[in-house]
Amino acid sequence: MKILHVICSPRGQHSESARLSSHIIGLLLKNDPTATVVNRVVAGDAIAQVDALYAQSQQSLADVTQEGSIARSDELIEELDSADVVVIATPMHNFTVPAALKVWIDHIARVRRTFNVGAQGKTSLLRDRPVFVAVSSGGRFSGVNPRQPDFLTPYLKAVLGMIGLHALTFFSVEGTALGPDVVAEARSKADQALHAHFSLL
């Protein structure tokens, strides 16, 4: 089994989302000790935004140059497509995905490569596989009394579903800006949810 670990926080391995995703990977490795992990850091300037040639390729049926963003897009798509499991570690920024994760998505959600457009609308080209999303948030966006909206979850379900990834499972550590006691409680709740989920596998 090959696990693709996408790390989106500018805080890297020190972030709550990376901590949570590491627990997910640990449980995956417990179930399959022979699995390999590929770490893809997308935070900061790790991946440049798509360029003009990429944008042109999305509007033309003709072959385009394989330079610039197209080459990086091919690399990231191949990396994704070769993975059996995807683990995404991401903070919630301004109610949705951070810019770094959006850039990665812009590279992998590519017409005629990971989805097609036809009379029936958009159809996916990638095979489905488990995707685990580890989310950290300064406020609370789920539960009985959420304090902020959540556009991250529906967006990821929609855009990853467009390319064929439907088996998404979300885990979260919420309220990271509300003090150490809240963080400790959120971590404990997330860990309980993780163990409950993976005990059924």
The confidence score (pLDDT) of residue 159 equals 98
Local confidence pLDDT in tens for the 201 residues of the chain: 999 999 999 887 889 999 999 999 999 999 999 999 999 999 988 998 988 888 887 876 655 666 778 899 999 999 999 999 999 999 999 999 999 999 999 999 999 999 999 888 999 999 999 999 999 999 999 887 888 999 999 999 999 999 999 999 999 999 999 999 999 999 999 999 999 999 876
Which overall architecture, per CATH, does domain 2-198 show? 3-Layer(aba) Sandwich (3.40)
Per-residue pLDDT at 53: 82
- Position 54 scores a pLDDT of 84
Sorted by where each begins, the domain ranges of the chain are 2-198
Q: Which pLDDT score, from 0 to 100, does residue 12 have? A: 79
Residue 30 burial class via C-beta count within 10 angstroms: exposed 0-12, middle 13-18, buried 19 and up: exposed
Closest CA to 197 of 136, 130, 151, 141: 130
pLDDT at 55: 83
Give the pLDDT score at 61.
65
Nearest residue to 5 via CA among 23, 163, 113, 171: 23
Residue 103's SS3 state is helix
Whether the model pTM is above 0.85: yes
Which residues lie closer than 8 Å to 100 by C-beta, 6 or more apart? Answer: 8, 10, 42, 43, 44, 46, 47
pLDDT at 65: 62
Look-up of token digits 């391995």: 13
Mapped onto helix, strand or coil, the DSSP state of residue 24 is: helix
Q: Looking at residue 10, what is its pLDDT?
A: 87
Q: What does the alpha-carbon distance between residue 105 and residue 64 come to, in Å, rounded to a whole number? A: 20
